[in-house]
């Protein structure tokens, strides 16, 4: 997924994750597809958590592989995406 540091793109990613996890948890979806999707969302969350969140401020600025600087302002919509992705990981069911 591309970086989105502002505007609607930042929020769209979060909305996508919120509904994507519902698809992954739907047992009527083919297992092989659910497995691929499960790996994808887990990889996104891992990259964001390990590289995209500033450990001092706990802010996510919309770049997957680069955390915002301590004094960098971040947009609300990209930060909400980070929150929504972490929320999705909380409701993601094991395969």
Delimit the domains of the chain by residue range: 7-91
Query: How many other C-beta atoms lie within 10 A of the C-beta of residue 60?
Result: 24
How far apart (Å, rounded) are the C-alpha atoms in residues 91 and 37? 14
Q: Tens-of-pLDDT digits for all 95 residues of the chain?
A: 888 888 788 889 999 999 999 999 999 999 999 999 999 999 999 999 999 999 999 999 999 999 999 999 999 999 999 999 999 999 999 99
Question: Quick one: pLDDT at residue 51?
Answer: 98
Contact 2, 47 (CB under 8 A): no
């Amino acid at each position: 997924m591309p970086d989105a540091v502002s505007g609607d793109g930042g929020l769209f990613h979060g909305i996508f994750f919120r509904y994507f996890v519902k698809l992954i948890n739907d047992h009527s979806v083919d297992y092989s597809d659910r497995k691929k999707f499960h790996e994808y969302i887990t990889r996104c969350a891992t990259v964001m958590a390990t590289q995209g969140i500033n450990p001092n401020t706990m802010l996510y600025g919309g770049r997957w592989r680069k955390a915002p600087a301590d004094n960098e302002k971040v947009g609300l919509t990209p930060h909400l995406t980070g929150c929504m992705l972490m929320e999705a990981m909380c409701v993601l069911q094991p395969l």
